[in-house]
């Protein structure tokens, strides 16, 4: 059969939990601000100035896709004696000269319009 508990008993249990000391340092959890407890700081070793914690950097996405595009970019296009890459670059400049704002913005963001 279930026992009924009073609100006073529940409140007393909560107060008793606040009085429990941390078993490794002997300090209460409430004595420290977030992230400042000694147990949290024990295993932290800062990196030297100028050294990254991730030496390889952010992983590159679409590696195989980039490789395939570069292979096609180097092939000679079906018309003319230019590569696909040259055709695309020429088309970007052509569309920008026609006043298409997306192409102008692309060139501007890449710094191609700077003197």
Q: pLDDT, tens digit, for every residue of 21-59?
A: 555 556 566 678 888 888 888 888 888 888 877 878 888
**Residue ranges per structural domain of the chain:** 12-41, 80-115
Calculate the alpha carbon distances from 9 to 4, 14, 20, 71 in Å: 10, 9, 17, 74
Q: What pLDDT is attached to residue 83?
A: 92
Is residue 30 within 8 A of residue 22, CB to CB? The reply is no
Contacts of residue 18, defined as CB under 8 A and 6 or more positions apart, other chains included, come to 28, 30
Please provide the DSSP assignment of 29-87 as one string: GGGS-TT--HHHHTT--PPPTT--S-TT-SPPS-HHHHHHHHHHHHSBPSSTT-BHHHH
Q: How far apart are the first and last CA of the chain?
A: 86
Burial of 84 (0-12, 13-18, 19+ CB in 10 A): middle
Global pTM reads: 0.46
Q: What pLDDT is attached to residue 99?
A: 95
Greater confidence (65 vs 58) lies with: 65
């Amino acid at each position: 059969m279930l026992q009924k508990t009073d609100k006073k008993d529940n409140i007393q249990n909560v107060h008793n939990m606040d009085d429990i000391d941390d078993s490794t340092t002997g300090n209460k959890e409430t004595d420290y601000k977030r992230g400042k407890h000694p147990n949290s700081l024990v295993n932290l070793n800062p990196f030297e100035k100028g050294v990254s914690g991730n030496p390889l950097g952010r992983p590159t996405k679409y590696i195989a896709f980039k490789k395939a595009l570069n292979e096609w970019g180097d092939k000679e296009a079906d018309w003319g004696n230019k590569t696909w890459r040259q055709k695309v670059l020429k088309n970007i400049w052509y569309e920008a000269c026609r006043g298409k704002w997306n192409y102008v913005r692309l060139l501007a963001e890449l710094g191609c319009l700077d003197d």
